[in-house]
Structure 1
Amino acid sequence: MARKPTLPGEILLEEFLEPMQISQAALAKHIEVDYKVINRIVNGHSSLTPDIALRLSKVLGTTSEFWLNLQQKVDIFEAQEKLKDVRLKPLQKIASL
């Protein structure tokens, strides 16, 4: 079984906020969003949206794709986990009447 990808909020906290000594509240204020938005992302309770990805990219010198790719990896992993016991068969062409 594959390891769960690192959450975008964990990357945000460990690779950006902590080294830069910036609080979640300060980041939220700087990118003009409610503190709860950043806090929920950092704590893994909310997904990172395209809007937040764009805001982070502008202030952290990254790209929005960087953040969205992190989120997409998590989303795909979680979807695979939900479907791991579902047996889907390839779709067959329906015979004409």
Structure 2
Amino acid sequence: MTILNTTGMQRKPTHPGEILREDFLPDYGLTASGLAESLGVSRQSVNELLRERRAVSPEMALRLARLFGNSPEFWLNAQRSVDLWNAAKLVKEEVDRIKPLHAA
């Protein structure tokens, strides 16, 4: 038996920057500067990510995964969820006008 998930997510997904800010930094005792240094990136990049003004790139996902011992997919999937949510809100009316096709 298959149960279709057609309703979608009802709340905005958590941005990877919030995950870092609220969960990872306190657990590892890191500051934004310490995270930037550990990742080998600028403080500005990290600050923009933590303030949810920058998306996680594949390169950043690889760096974060290496540092925290998880997978790059974890970070990219979190970002993908936010991106899809934002896109769905932006083009909802246009997408709603598309009539689904049915196989003959």
Please tell me the TM-score bracket, short chain as reference: 0.7 to 0.9
Which stretches in structure 1 are left out of the alignment for 5+ residues? 93-97
Tell me, yes or no, if structure 1 residue 76 matches structure 2 residue 84: yes
Give the TM-score taking structure 2 as reference length.
Answer: 0.82
2:57 to 43, 49, 52: 49
Q: Residue 89 of structure 1 aligns with which residue?
A: 98
Give the TM-score taking structure 1 as reference length.
Answer: 0.87
- Aligned identity (percent) is 36
Deviating beyond 3 angstroms after TM superposition, the runs of 4 or more aligned structure 1 residues are none
Which stretches in structure 2 are left out of the alignment for 5+ residues? 1-8
Separation in 2, partners of 1:59, 1:91: 44
Residues 85 and 10 (structure 1 numbering): CA distance in 2 closer, same or farther, change over 3 Å? same
Separation in 2, partners of 1:28, 1:50: 16
Aligned residues: 92
SS of the residue 1:22 aligns to? coil
